[in-house]
Structure 1
Amino acid sequence: MNKLLICVLALLLFINCKQNANAQEAAATGKFNLNFEKNDLNETLPDNWLQWGKFDVKKDSVAHAGKFAGKVNSGSEKGAFSSIAYKIPANYEGKSIRLEGYMKTENVVGYSGLLLRVDGNGKSLVFDNMAKQKIQGTNDWKKYSITLAYPEEAEIIYVAGLVSGEGTAWFDDFVVTIDGKDIQTLKERKPKVFKARLDTIFDKGSNIKFPVLNKENSTNLELLGKVWGFLKYYHPEVGKGNYNWDYELFRVLPTYLKVENAVERNQVLIGWIEKLGKVDICKTCDATKEDAFLKPDMAWIDAAGFNTILKEKLTYIYKNRFQGKHYYIKPAKNIGNPDFINEQAYKEMEYPDAGFRLLALYRYWNMIHYFFPYKYLSDKDWNTTLKEYVPKFVDAKSELDYELATVQIIGDVQDTHAGLWGNDDKMEAMFGENQAPFKAKFIENKLVVIKYYNPEYEEVSKLKVGDIITHIDGKTVETLKKDVYKYHTASNETVKDRSIASTVLRSPKTEITIDYISNGKTKKHNLTLYKRKSLKLYGVDTTAKCYKMLAGNIGYVTLENIKDEDISEIKKMFKNTKGIIIDIRNYPSTFVPFKLGSYFVSKPTSFVKFTEMNVQNPGEFNFLEGPKIPNETETYAGKLVVLVNEQSQSQSEYTAMAFRAGDNTTIVGSTTAGADGNVTFIYLPGGLRTAISGLGIYYPNGGETQRIGIIPDVEVKPTIKGIQQGKDEVLEKAIEIIRKEE
């Protein structure tokens, strides 16, 4: 080798080593300790790393590079979870965010992985923890990555390494990039400062004192709530984020509560509006479309008894309403359902004061009034609801009363997606943390045991599958059902029964007395209850195959544990069968309407259309054409039978609609949950969380699914006799339908 070549190679080697050294130095001195090397502040954890979960988390010398890595050791306790996490202010702009990192595992049962989460507006905006990859067992160091869309409203970035289940994992050399640029060197943006966020005067409480409520002041508070919501979503200054609209309510209330007649009331409202500032003429505000499916409901303005000046001011604001990116509302990315942003949940207020409770009512009522696509389907006129609930919220004497008032107005929406899904601890305590070890269902109007969550409890519990429960602690099941009826939210009565059947078998006690009928004989038993968290209430065997061949050359698929990789095998295995049964009496583990639905259509086929809100004109909803199911080169020639019941909800219903569009499909079973459409979450004072079906879902001909559900072509419901004999009568009917083709 000549000397020149040797010199060149030596120079290249020197440059490469220097670059590596510089890179390591940059990582070591980076503003974020993502390589776990900084260890000056804590003897246990690397600097600025946090422990999430209850088990052993620490720094460790078993490293991928450098001296240290993060180590997570999770225990064998059921539901064990632990992670080592890092928090980064999201002061950056971009469209995508990526986390890369190295992981080493040892004897992991469950899964381990990297975690990337971006929060904003007090909630998680995007999230992935690699759970679907099911990384288990023992593996040497390997590089993994997660890529997510980077939300505009991002405030905090969390990165972590986790173990869910039992085992140990090590994590090292994390790198976070936004649009491909390392966050360690990425220039920080100057966060936009909204005046609304600077207003913190009522953070500790509203200090509002309410008089004794009567018909007159309840009516005044009803009208204030409607004006408050109108201004929130239409007034340009509120839309710009120039006002903390929660706290503006507390500023106007003391004066408003003192009004003695309609004249004084109108003057306070006029003065309040004028203080918000001048509203310029809007040159881009389009009129509501003539063919809009739903139009803004302003009838309350004429019905309120307002004087001409106040009516004209409200009408002028509507015609010259805010346009652009609203501070409190936006369409969810790529979907179009409402996304309520910058709504504080006030989690620190376990029992919010009366002012904040009234705020909760106003916030919820107006969200439904302007942005719930199915408001018109509720049995109750929504315009009458606000006044009814003013005293229930203001006079709620305890945290439990507040939660119960909230769940009742949520129930008036009649949406199975609705309900209290967070921080409703007092209501949960009322129902009880202990549960019967079996599942019961209303069949033929009787409460029937249909399966055990934990089969090991069957012998000691005495009741057998098919037994009929008549009394619980001396009360008839019918009485108990009436007692809890108003606290259960649902689109239809079938789903009410689904929920109530579980609730009546809960209790704060560890034992209840059951009267029941078994083999025609009346019996009584003191039934031991178990902690709900210890029971397999929602267990799905993810290791089992989702498909099998039934007798008579019939394929069977359940969607509760289907995986993407199963779909090609299903098509191959069932290609020449007489029929395929797809069971959606569950919630699909994978989204399959197009990947599997394409096997059953001979041409591109429409199966759905949507209604979408117009965020520039709150209250307006318009139809959008939905996607089509693409066809494959070869269409399945046999008969498709789809099984549904009240457990089929949301994605299950959407999937059933897609399969119904097939060339030779029959839907068998009973009415579904009637809650179709992407979920929109709502946060209320006291940390309460609820939701609505945020996107209107319809058949291509305009046929409705909300509340109605997916109506089967052939209705089959389980019978008590069938349950006692261990039959699946819905599945049997599906097999019979396919065999008729012989």
Structure 2
Amino acid sequence: MKKTVLIAFLLLFQFSFSKPITETQKLAATCKVWGFLKYYHPNVTDGSKNWDEQLFQILPKIEEAQTSEAFSLVIENWIDSLGEIKKQETLKPNVKKEYFDKNFDLSWFNKNELFSKSLSKKLKFIEENRNKKQQFYYTSKPYIEVINEVKYKDFKWTDKNLRLLALFRYWNQMEYFFPYKYKMDQSWDSVLIEMMSRFSNPESEKDFALAMREISIKLNDTHASTQMKQMSDYFGDKFITADVVFIDNKAVVVALKNDSLAKIDDFRVGDVVTKVDGKTVGDLINENLKYAEGSNMPATLKNIYWAVFNGKTESIEIEFIRDNTTSVKKVKRYTYSKLKITNAKNAAKWKLLDDAIGYVDVERIKADELPSVMSQFKDTKAIIFDARKYPKEANIEEDIAQYLYPEEKAFAKFIDADLTYPGRYVWREDQKTGKTNVDYYKGKVIILQNEKTQSHGEHLVMCLQAAPNATVIGSQTSGADGGTCRFEIIKGYSTIFTGFGIFYPNRKETQRVGIVPDIEVKPTILGIQQGKDEVLERAILFAKNGK
């Protein structure tokens, strides 16, 4: 009896440590190890190994491994084949770094159920004795730039090895060098598990291509998306002649791309489109959220236009409301080149409004125009800086701040990737601007913003917001401050994401949250139909009475 119990116990013990593992588990763990070694192992980070080829050689062995013990042994033998790593003497750094570590987590060394204790120990040793000098696969200027990746000009989606390489490259690039990974709705580890089958066993080329798009959208970053030529094949390359904003799951026409072409379809500003080819606008939005980039919902809605209205056909049927009457009609679609957009900029870059209130369009103002503008506005009771579009002039915010700040002041703080410790970020010194200026502008400084206020635009608002007597009016911004990093994942698939982190000097976040307005004002359907700029009107009211 005792012998039977002992045998049963031994069998149970053996099974518990030798249970079968799935392909997804193995590939996900391999992805993490491959990326870690790529950025940490001194004999890999020097570029002496063909690291892609190393992956292709190890994948068949990974496939053969049926237990966690077998898997760990394959990985350990692989690491051993890379050559000896010299143990480094621990030295005190010359410069003390203040780390931002919300993204950093290598605890998976010890938490992965596929890893043996000896494998975990090897990985930890590599971390402690990592390459701390120049890297082969990336540099920083000041945000990460991907370098020395093989392009694979003959890439075919049917090649499983190259599909997995594309996933492994992208996932690890974001794992170590996306500064806002910790702000995502979904953990990056769970994204890897979820998307693995889409890359290892896609149903079709379309499924693979859309997976490349979807994984970048999961960053919840308005800058982040993957671009490929197939997008126009799948979603169409023809546009309607109207520009819209989405309010309450309806598309409201706010401008016409081409007056003469729009007249053919009788599009009018204020028309409210409720259905497209029989589907409600709300349903079309929900179906396509996984393809539209955005740090927050307003930003996503700004970017989802093409998924709702674009297509391959020459026309579509829309249901729309005008003057409280619901109608249905066909409208034409055009390729971008044939659309011949005519909404040219005719409005003034700056002007004096009623009751001594100045107005400046920061999208178009140039630095060399500021002396004349600020001289003209120096005795006004308020200046309204309209930041609802993207500034074209580099560093225009600091040029404006010279007139608004009484002294030098910090308005932003950055984090940069630590090139000696991939995945970790270091706080940079405060970004300051301004100078001692007793003649600084003493009226109200009013900044207008909305979901089109993005990146440089958000940085501009942060800068002007730090001026005395400043008030921000409008709605949630795009929530994607910071410079962008672009690279080609593999031939035909280019991607972009926010490359470094930007915060307020007190380290308050702006990513996803955006710049929070002091007075929230959103356009309404009625206001659009009446031709009002409700945000600007609210700013003028505030300039006059301070309320």
Q: 1:237 pairs with 15, 18, 43, which one?
A: 43
Does the residue aligned with 1:507 lie in a helix, a strand or coil?
A: coil
Q: Which residue of 1 aligns with 2:490?
A: 685
Q: Which letter does structure 2 place at the counterpart of 1:425? A: K
Alignment of 1:508 with 2:274, yes or no, is no
Does the residue aligned with 1:221 lie in a helix, a strand or coil?
A: helix
Give how far 1:545 is off: 4.3
Q: Which residue of 2 aligns with 1:578?
A: 381
Q: 2:224 pairs with 405, 418, 421, which one?
A: 418
Q: Which residue of 1 aligns with 2:188?
A: 382
Contact 1:285 1:319 in 2 (8 A): no
Does the residue aligned with 1:594 lie in a helix, a strand or coil?
A: helix
1:607-648: per-residue Cα shift (whole Å, max 9, x none)? 100111111001111211222121345201211111100001
* Structure 2 gap segments, 5+ residues each: 1-19
Q: Which residue of 1 aligns with 2:148?
A: 342
Alignment of 1:330 with 2:115, yes or no, is no
Q: Which residue of 1 aligns with 2:110?
A: 302
Find the aligned partners of 1:352 and 1:282 in 2 and give their Cα distance: 44
Say which structure, 1 or 2, has more relative contact order (CA 8 Å, 6+ apart). 2
Find the aligned partners of 2:262 and 2:461 in 1 and give their Cα distance: 34
**How high is the TM-score relative to the length of structure 1?**
0.68
Find the aligned partners of 1:709 and 1:485 in 2 and give their Cα distance: 19
Alignment of 1:312 with 2:118, yes or no, is no
Find the aligned partners of 2:106 and 2:487 in 1 and give their Cα distance: 23
Give how far 1:540 is off: 5.9
Give how far 1:289 is off: 7.7
Q: Which residue of 2 aligns with 1:655?
A: 460
1:655-687: per-residue Cα shift (whole Å, max 9, x none)? 000000001111110000000111111321133
1:571-613: per-residue Cα shift (whole Å, max 9, x none)? 1221111211111111101021211122111111111001111
Contact 1:350 1:687 in 2 (8 A): no
Relative to structure 1, the CA distance from residue 536 to residue 618 in structure 2 (aligned partners, 3 Å threshold; closer, same or farther) is farther
Contact 1:444 1:719 in 2 (8 A): no
Find the aligned partners of 1:565 and 1:285 in 2 and give their Cα distance: 50
Find the aligned partners of 1:408 and 1:375 in 2 and give their Cα distance: 16
User: Equivalent residues in 2 for 1:100-139 (5 A)?
Assistant: none
User: Equivalent residues in 2 for 1:114-263 (5 A)?
Assistant: 216-263=22-69
User: Equivalent residues in 2 for 1:8-27 (5 A)?
Assistant: none
Does the residue aligned with 1:342 lie in a helix, a strand or coil?
A: coil
Q: Which residue of 2 aligns with 1:436?
A: 240
Give how far 1:398 is off: 3.5
Q: 2:100 pairs with 262, 281, 293, which one?
A: 293
Rg larger in 1 or in 2? 1
Alignment of 1:406 with 2:209, yes or no, is no
Alignment of 1:724 with 2:532, yes or no, is no
Q: Between 713-722 and 391-400, report the one with greater CA deviation.
A: 391-400
Find the aligned partners of 1:536 and 1:579 in 2 and give their Cα distance: 38
Find the aligned partners of 2:25 and 2:320 in 1 and give their Cα distance: 49
Relative to structure 1, the CA distance from residue 420 to residue 538 in structure 2 (aligned partners, 3 Å threshold; closer, same or farther) is farther
Does the residue aligned with 2:537 lie in a helix, a strand or coil?
A: helix
Does the residue aligned with 1:595 lie in a helix, a strand or coil?
A: helix
Q: Which residue of 2 aligns with 1:125?
A: none
Q: Which letter does structure 1 place at the counterpart of 2:440? A: T
Q: 1:696 pairs with 477, 501, 519, which one?
A: 501
User: Equivalent residues in 2 for 1:53-68 (5 A)?
Assistant: none
Aligned-pair identity in percent equals 37
Give how far 1:389 is off: 1.2
Q: Which residue of 1 aligns with 2:451?
A: 646
Give how far 1:344 is off: 3.0
Find the aligned partners of 1:585 and 1:237 in 2 and give their Cα distance: 49
Find the aligned partners of 1:435 and 1:713 in 2 and give their Cα distance: 36
Give how far 1:394 is off: 1.5
Q: Which residue of 1 aligns with 2:286?
A: 482
Give how far 1:310 is off: 0.8
Q: Which letter does structure 1 place at the counterpart of 2:224? A: A
Q: Which residue of 2 aligns with 1:49?
A: none
1:273-323: per-residue Cα shift (whole Å, max 9, x none)? 011111012236779989522163112111212112111111111100012
Find the aligned partners of 2:367 and 2:156 in 1 and give their Cα distance: 43
Superposed CA RMSD in Å reads 2.0
Does the residue aligned with 1:673 lie in a helix, a strand or coil?
A: coil
1:390-414: per-residue Cα shift (whole Å, max 9, x none)? 1111122443222210111111111
Q: Which has the higher strand share?
A: 1
Find the aligned partners of 2:203 and 2:53 in 1 and give their Cα distance: 23
Q: Which residue of 2 aligns with 1:163?
A: none
Q: 1:627 pairs with 387, 409, 431, which one?
A: 431
Find the aligned partners of 2:98 and 2:405 in 1 and give their Cα distance: 32
Alignment of 1:278 with 2:87, yes or no, is no
Find the aligned partners of 1:358 and 1:377 in 2 and give their Cα distance: 26
Contact 1:344 1:683 in 2 (8 A): no
Q: Which letter does structure 2 place at the counterpart of 1:477? A: V
Give how far 1:459 is off: 2.0
Q: Between 218-227 and 240-249, report the one with greater CA deviation.
A: 240-249
Does the residue aligned with 1:415 lie in a helix, a strand or coil?
A: coil
Q: Which residue of 2 aligns with 1:473?
A: 277
Q: Which letter does structure 2 place at the counterpart of 1:279? A: I
Q: Which residue of 2 aligns with 1:109?
A: none
Q: Which letter does structure 1 place at the counterpart of 2:193? A: K
Q: Which residue of 1 aligns with 2:542?
A: 737
Relative to structure 1, the CA distance from residue 285 to residue 480 in structure 2 (aligned partners, 3 Å threshold; closer, same or farther) is farther
Relative to structure 1, the CA distance from residue 374 to residue 538 in structure 2 (aligned partners, 3 Å threshold; closer, same or farther) is farther
Alignment of 1:609 with 2:413, yes or no, is yes
Q: Which residue of 2 aligns with 1:562?
A: 365
Find the aligned partners of 2:226 and 2:181 in 1 and give their Cα distance: 18
Q: Which letter does structure 1 place at the counterpart of 2:487? A: I
Q: Between 616-625 and 497-506, report the one with greater CA deviation.
A: 497-506
Does the residue aligned with 2:223 lie in a helix, a strand or coil?
A: coil
Q: Which letter does structure 2 place at the counterpart of 1:485? A: L
Does the residue aligned with 2:99 lie in a helix, a strand or coil?
A: coil
Find the aligned partners of 2:167 and 2:315 in 1 and give their Cα distance: 37
Q: Which letter does structure 1 place at the counterpart of 2:457? A: S
Give how far 1:373 is off: 0.9
Give how far 1:257 is off: 1.1
Find the aligned partners of 2:231 and 2:398 in 1 and give their Cα distance: 40
Give how far 1:238 is off: 1.0
Q: Which residue of 1 aligns with 2:9?
A: none
Find the aligned partners of 1:578 and 1:544 in 2 and give their Cα distance: 23
Q: Which residue of 2 aligns with 1:52?
A: none
Find the aligned partners of 1:270 and 1:539 in 2 and give their Cα distance: 62
* Structure 1 gap segments, 5+ residues each: 1-213
Q: Which residue of 2 aligns with 1:462?
A: 266
Q: Which residue of 2 aligns with 1:372?
A: 178
Relative to structure 1, the CA distance from residue 326 to residue 290 in structure 2 (aligned partners, 3 Å threshold; closer, same or farther) is closer
Give how far 1:486 is off: 1.0
Find the aligned partners of 1:285 and 1:257 in 2 and give their Cα distance: 41
Does the residue aligned with 1:396 lie in a helix, a strand or coil?
A: coil
